[in-house]
Structure 1
Amino acid sequence: MNAFFEGYVHSRTNLKEFVDQFDNALKKKIENENLADFQSFNVTIPCISRSPIEKRFQELYTIAKFKEVQQQVNGIIDLNPKLAPSDGAIKTYMVEDEVALEEFTKLVTYFVDFSEVDAVAKCSCGLFEMRGILCRHILAVFRCNDIRYLLEIYILDRWRKDIKRRYTLIHSSYDEGDQRPDANRYSSLLSIYYQMITHAASSRKHTEDARSKLHAMIELYRANEEPPSFT
């Protein structure tokens, strides 16, 4: 929040000034996101490996997030996962990695649990949970197990360049008339949606019915969605 408002909203201000400053911050944020989306669609950052997983991230993610992914891909080079004794379909790997501290580095051992059944992995470093990208420790374990495809659970919508950021559809005071028909449509659908969930949440049966129908609708519209236009 501080990063969002920095340079636009000041602590000593009245309500009207706050609203004006908030609109300025929102407008600037939207402009920056639109520029970033445009660049992501028109500029391609080369892959640094032959990994199909990196290639998939290159196709889907914004430039900024793909660069973060590449930092992890680059870090695989020095990693050598060692399989720990384990039973069943879950393998546990020990991965030694150098961690930079203030004036020196030290070796830290991370543990990656890998399921042979569905190729799902979880690392003790928690990078995916904190920042939404796969860590180099998991990628190294994938390499050991010849995993060459990327599970959908590791592809997060908020980093995808082909999905419009929802807050860019929120009305603000600089919107005039029909200049932003997408925002008008969004507001109209949101109103109907709130009415629907108010009634659906009254029972478990209705909730499950609404959930299944909404998921079906999302998949239908996503399959027929036109690519965003930046003209």
Structure 2
Amino acid sequence: MNAFFDGYVHAKTNLKEFVDQYDNALKKKIENENCADFQSFNVTILCISRSPIEKRYQDLYTNPKFREVQHQLTDIIDLDPVLLKADATVMIYLVKDEVHVEDFTKLVTYSVDFSEDDAVAKCSCGLFEMRGIMCRHIFAVFKCNGIKTIPDRYTLD
């Protein structure tokens, strides 16, 4: 939220100035979104695979969001989901992944709950819930289960 107001709202601002600055921030946000939409309609980022999943995201998302999806898709190469347990409705996978922060790398194990009946998955990394982008851990579980199409719940406006 602070990033939204950067350059517009300052600590010593009266109410009228705040409203004016808030209005300017909203106008700038809309202008940026319109510019991104224009770019997305006029510039197509090529798919890096033959995946129908990637193609669907290419068709639906703006270029910046599509690049985020592509980043997740390229990173599934190093992932190998391991089935921890399964019952009649849900399979639980463990997915080991490397997390990089500056020069530091840490191995982290994520848990992905997957329902084969309706291709619903939830990952402990929470990327989809936080950013609206499906994470590489879910993509990897989908891949090992032969899921070729993404349910509508994983594509946001």
Q: Distance in 1 between matches of 2:98 and 2:21?
A: 44
Q: Give the 3-state SS of the residue equivalent to 1:72 in structure 2.
A: helix
Amino acid at match of 1:110: Y
Say what the alpha-carbon RMSD is for the aligned residues: 1.6
Correspondence 1:216-227 to 2 at 5 A: none
Residue equivalent to 1:84: 84
Q: Distance in 2 between matches of 1:85 and 1:16?
A: 58
Amino acid at match of 1:105: T
User: Greater share of strand residues, 1 or 2?
Assistant: 2
Q: Distance in 2 between matches of 1:124 and 1:21?
A: 38
The count of residues paired between Structure 1 and Structure 2 equals 157
Amino acid at match of 2:26: L
Q: Distance in 1 between matches of 2:9 and 2:90?
A: 50
Residue equivalent to 1:75: 75
Q: Give the 3-state SS of the residue equivalent to 1:54 in structure 2.
A: helix
Computing the radius of gyration from Cα coordinates, the structure with the larger value is: 1
Give the structure-2-normalised TM-score.
0.91
Q: Distance in 2 between matches of 1:77 and 1:18?
A: 48
Q: Distance in 2 between matches of 1:116 and 1:13?
A: 54
Residue equivalent to 2:139: 139
Q: Distance in 2 between matches of 1:38 and 1:129?
A: 27
Q: Distance in 2 between matches of 1:20 and 1:101?
A: 38
CA gap 1:101/1:19 in 2 versus in 1, 3 angstroms: closer
Q: Give the 3-state SS of the residue equivalent to 1:97 in structure 2.
A: strand
Q: Deviations over 1:126-177 (max 9, x none)?
A: 11111111110110111111111110111112xxxxxxxxxxxxxxxxxxxx
Report the identity percentage: 73
**RCO greater where, 1 or 2, for CA within 8 Å and sep 6 or more?**
2
CA gap 1:17/1:109 in 2 versus in 1, 3 angstroms: closer
1:41 matched to 2:49: no
Correspondence 1:35-184 to 2 at 5 A: 35-157=35-157
CA gap 1:53/1:18 in 2 versus in 1, 3 angstroms: same
Q: Distance in 2 between matches of 1:7 and 1:51?
A: 41
The answer to which of 85-94 and 41-50 deviates more is 85-94
Q: Deviations over 1:76-108 (max 9, x none)?
A: 011111122322231121211111245331221
Amino acid at match of 1:141: V
List alignment gaps of at least 5 residues for structure 1: 158-231
Residue equivalent to 1:18: 18
Q: Distance in 1 between matches of 2:28 and 2:89?
A: 50
Amino acid at match of 2:104: F
Give the structure-1-normalised TM-score.
0.63
Correspondence 1:190-209 to 2 at 5 A: none
User: Greater share of helix residues, 1 or 2?
Assistant: 1
List alignment gaps of at least 5 residues for structure 2: none
